Amino acid sequence: MSAIDNLPPLRAVIAANDLRAKKSLGQNFLLDLNLTARIARAAGDLRACDVLEVGPGPGGLTRGLLAEGARHVLAVEKDARCLPALEQIAAAYPGRLEVVNADALALDVESRLTPPIRVVSNLPYNVGTELLVRWLIPPRWPPFWQSLTLMFQKEVAQRIVARPGGKAYGRLAILAQWRAHASIVMSLPPEAFTPPPKISSAVVHLERRETPLAPADPDVLGRVVAAAFNQRRKMLRASLRGVAPDIEDRIRIAGLDPTMRAEQVPIEGFCALARAVAKGG
């Protein structure tokens, strides 16, 4: 019996199902169920929520989510070797866990979930960043999710929550914080995982804003931010030259100084710039 439920400890589950971690699938498992329950708690009150978990692996975090009272968990796992372990968890929590063997990048999850929906995942880092960006730029806002609680390598987590004025501040910070409140809620050393990765990790919690921080067309904002940070050491009047012929005027209309550099501009400033560029046609 484990710390949080009547199921076997994760080491026994992994041995019984011969779940040797595969590098190609970014498999670094969390085996401490007290830790996975803490991550589940960091996602907020799950009792009235459906939860999407991408990459449950042997199910440590899945068990944390269910033990913390999630109404329903949709677990999407690419590796079929994990299915028997996940089915065992489903049997222990009748009607509350749906397991789908699929690539999360190719699956329509929205139709399988009922709002309010929280996303909680410990994913391979590359898949995590790609999904985060997709979840932040849906066709309509607000999106299908209420919050995202995701594991990243520490350096990426710091870029997501970065404030203006430093090296970490860039496209990811603006994309995330324009549409959500983002914070690092936990830091984990390599030894928390089996096998341990080379770097430290952190859990980022993003709670969606019902309306973005300031008005802007997402495509124009994306274009302006990309141009500004592609040449982040240059002044705005130089880095944004390709965005509009009269860009210096537009920068002034937005209330900014054309000699500023991208990393000095707050998110509201980029939104004002996107509006000024859009108006200029």
Interacting residues with ligand SAM (CB under 6 A): 25-30, 54-57, 60-61, 76-79, 82, 103-105, 122-124, 127
Half-sphere exposure of 201 (CA within 13 A, CB side): 22
Q: Which residue, 122 or 158, has its beta carbon nearer to ligand SAM?
A: 122
Beta strands 117-121 and 50-54 are: parallel
CB 61 within 8 A of CB 42: no
- Pick the closer one to ligand SAM by CB: 23 or 140: 23
Of 124 and 212, the one with the shorter C-beta distance to ligand SAM is 124
Inter-residue contact 118 to 46 (CB < 8 Å): yes
Distance in angstroms (rounded) separating the CA atoms of residues 271 and 174: 10
CB of 118 to ligand SAM, least distance (A): 15
For the bound state, the minimum distance from the C-beta of residue 123 to ligand SAM, rounded and expressed in Å, comes to: 6
Shorter beta-carbon distance to ligand SAM: residue 78 or 179:
78
d(CA 225, CA 238): 13
User: Other C-beta atoms within 10 Å of 135: how many?
Assistant: 20
Instruction: For the CB of residue 28, give the shortest distance to ligand SAM in the complex, in Å.
Output: 5
Nearer to ligand SAM, 29 or 229 (CB): 29
- Residue with smaller CB distance to ligand SAM, 63 or 179: 63
Cα torsion 63, 67, 68, 73: sign? positive
Q: How far is the CB of 193 from ligand SAM (least distance, A)?
A: 7
- 91, burial (CB in 10 Å: exposed 0-12, middle 13-18, buried 19+): exposed
166 and 263 Cβ atoms separated by less than 8 Å: yes
Residue identified by tokens 């710390």 is 3
Structure tokens at 174: 């603006």
CB of 253 to ligand SAM, least distance (A): 44
Report the nearest approach of ligand SAM to the CB of residue 30 (Å). Answer: 4
The two tokens of residue 41 are 């708690």
